[in-house]
Structure 1
Amino acid sequence: MWASTSNAGGLTFQRPDKRAVEQDPQAVRVWHEESRPAIRAQAKEGAAVCRALPVRLSS
């Protein structure tokens, strides 16, 4: 996650929390058991895997 800094006027890397407060245990289980293995299998077959992270910029 990138955040604007007031002293430098640029962007600096900010470390995210280890776990979201609103984390859904069922959704995490589905990701680890179903979604992630399917993505890894597609990547091994040559598919491009892109990661998009939500970013919020503030002034």
Structure 2
Amino acid sequence: MASTATLRKKNATYQNNVHKRGHVKDTLKTKKDWQLPVSLPVLAILAFTVFGGAFLAIMQMFF
């Protein structure tokens, strides 16, 4: 079994580390660029339905 002095040293090392847990240095974090919340095909389908519906509504008013 480990000696008392060795256990005290290891306990002190881990006790000092308790406040650093969960905090990652900024240099280790990856910075993500802004991305669309939906994919481009989904955005295209949504735009087609919205603008197509508006176009048909306008055409219906005139014809």
Question: Structure 2-normalised TM-score?
Answer: 0.27
TM-score, normalization: structure 1?
0.28
Greater helix share, 1 or 2? 2
Higher strand share: 1
Q: Which has the larger radius of gyration?
A: 2
